[in-house]
Structure 1
């Protein structure tokens, strides 16, 4: 049983010769490059993040880059960074050649201190299981809050077709449906996620205004049997591009079904549709991720997806 990380632990010394300062929105690229470099090292050359992910998070109305980010510099060069993306969750990365100098420990302390100042009782971050980051956070007393998995379809495989109920269609969402789409996602995610309801403005920043977004990325199942069509299931698709290899991957970032319509195969039909829409645009590989809070892993395994990565969300209690 891990005890709380107390305020006494939140003020380690920055390694000699290094300085720190908040980052700016223009430095989202720097943060991405640090995260990507760490992932390539820990994930056998793979990267599970795009610059657009950082930009989408940083352009949210609730995210103040000046107070929620910190960079560690060697001269003018940023060699490590951390962000408090949400009050209980952050990201951090250190340039691989600068590991072992205590930068990661310093960044973890900054994240705890910043979260504590914002009134949070716990803060954590996702790390590949068994990675250097996982080992560091374990040594600092962090516990596993949940486990997550990245899954992909094997080459040439397809999700089995699933017929929609009569009177239902699957298509791209229309602009006038965006707020309802957001409600379906939030209602579903808040059944297992312990957080405040996401405002529409945050959804707009991370999905609709995310760099590279196209209207076809937002897929919906619509029930047309009543007087008014109703959105009953949603998938948010992103096309991930590996900058080094150029490989493209269709990635379902969010998948949600209205609670009263589960068990009808709507999520599976959306997966079939989403990956087919991507294939029409030349993207043959497909993936998504899920975590132990959702209970959805079994569905993805059942339709033929395979786990390719294991991640853990390690967190520290801050009530000490």
Structure 2
């Protein structure tokens, strides 16, 4: 086929948005992005479009796309993120193979600049129902290593009551505490498989400056000024009063595609020192009450099926149900 391959450029964002909608119609990954959302992805600090992207065009229409994201840190293995897709009308013609041949070569140059003393790995994935994508990944040596559930709850009924917790206050997100919130996010996700710290510039792009961030639907857990440290130990003091966070986003493109307003809880975490006190439950319930009051139809989130904090059980007890499963595939080079 006469497909023109080149790196993604900023002026390609409208074509990228059309491409994404076409892919979502078939793959049903619950991924809906507006042009404004994609402009933010294009500007992400760890995405280098000239060297970390490959787009295939048939005339003015994008028909294949792949992108690489380096990680903010690495130990023995630098597991670089790789996302790729082919327009449904162009599948079975070798375009996915082209992307999977390009990715490791492009990744090596980006990897060696940052982490020359680490091994290179690529991390990608597909929905558990996408058998064709799974077969292609496995043909290129990728193996399934982790399973992530997409969960959802309708907000027609009154959400669970927000219980009080001794020594802890659940309050709306406050911009003046944003840096404490970022640090607590890094600390609370440190024991989660496959995660890396979020740098300040990344955090601002994803939240503070993002068109999708909803501070009015986001909450933080604070140690009470009165009543001691709320069960936190000395290590927790480095984060000020913040001990937990629930950061929520709203994607208008989802409403355009589905007709429903869905609040997406992008981050929910608590410091290890204050876990098992109901803080995550209280944060989540606070988001659900605020979203319902604001007229949202549903709320969603994602969870590692093997999350060590028992998050899956917490979400199920609140009323979330699994709607789909994402399979993470990895390969070392």
Aligned residues: 301
SS in 2 for 1:145: strand
Whether 1:234 and 2:280 are equivalent positions in the alignment is no
1:158: how far off?
5.2
Q: Please tell me whether the aligned partners of residues 127 and 134 of structure 1 are also in contact (alpha carbons under 8 angstroms).
A: yes
Corresponding residue for residue 244 of structure 1: 257
Please show how residues 172-251 of structure 1 align to structure 2 within 5 Å. 172-194=172-194, 196-226=196-226, 230-241=241-252, 242=254, 243-251=256-264
Which structure's relative contact order is higher, taking Cα pairs within 8 Å and 6+ residues apart?
1
1:29: how far off?
4.0
Range that drifts further, 48-57 or 120-129: 48-57
Distance of 2:319 and 2:149 partners within structure 1: 15
TM-score under structure 2 length normalisation:
0.83
Change (3 A) 1:244 1:304: closer
Range that drifts further, 127-136 or 23-32: 23-32
Tell me the alpha carbon deviations over residues 10-59 of structure 1, each in whole angstroms, 9 at most, x when there is no partner: xxxxxx3112111123433433432332232122xx73332355333322
1:196: how far off?
4.5
Corresponding residue for residue 128 of structure 2: 129
Corresponding residue for residue 141 of structure 2: 141
Whether 1:78 and 2:62 are equivalent positions in the alignment is yes
Corresponding residue for residue 318 of structure 2: 303
Distance of 2:276 and 2:159 partners within structure 1: 17
TM-score under structure 1 length normalisation:
0.86
Change (3 A) 1:259 1:53: farther
1:105: how far off?
1.0
Distance of 1:174 and 1:271 partners within structure 2: 17
1:253: how far off?
0.5
Corresponding residue for residue 235 of structure 2: none
Whether 1:313 and 2:328 are equivalent positions in the alignment is yes
Residue 278 of structure 1: which of 274, 291, 307 is its match?
Answer: 291
Residue 31 of structure 2: which of 37, 48, 55 is its match?
Answer: 48
Corresponding residue for residue 13 of structure 1: none
Runs of 4+ in 1 over 6 A off after TM superposition: none
Structure 1, unpaired ranges of 5+:
1-15
Distance of 2:267 and 2:185 partners within structure 1: 8
1:269: how far off?
0.7
1:293: how far off?
4.7
Tell me the alpha carbon deviations over residues 104-130 of structure 1, each in whole angstroms, 9 at most, x when there is no partner: 111122222222222361102131013
Residue 23 of structure 2: which of 35, 38, 53 is its match?
Answer: 38
Distance of 1:231 and 1:26 partners within structure 2: 41
Corresponding residue for residue 164 of structure 1: 164
Distance of 1:26 and 1:190 partners within structure 2: 37
SS in 2 for 1:211: coil
Q: Please tell me whether the aligned partners of residues 54 and 66 of structure 2 are also in contact (alpha carbons under 8 angstroms).
A: yes
Corresponding residue for residue 76 of structure 2: none
Distance of 1:256 and 1:93 partners within structure 2: 31
1:157: how far off?
4.7
SS in 1 for 2:287: helix
Residue 104 of structure 1: which of 96, 99, 102 is its match?
Answer: 96
Distance of 1:312 and 1:194 partners within structure 2: 13
Q: Please tell me whether the aligned partners of residues 32 and 257 of structure 2 are also in contact (alpha carbons under 8 angstroms).
A: no
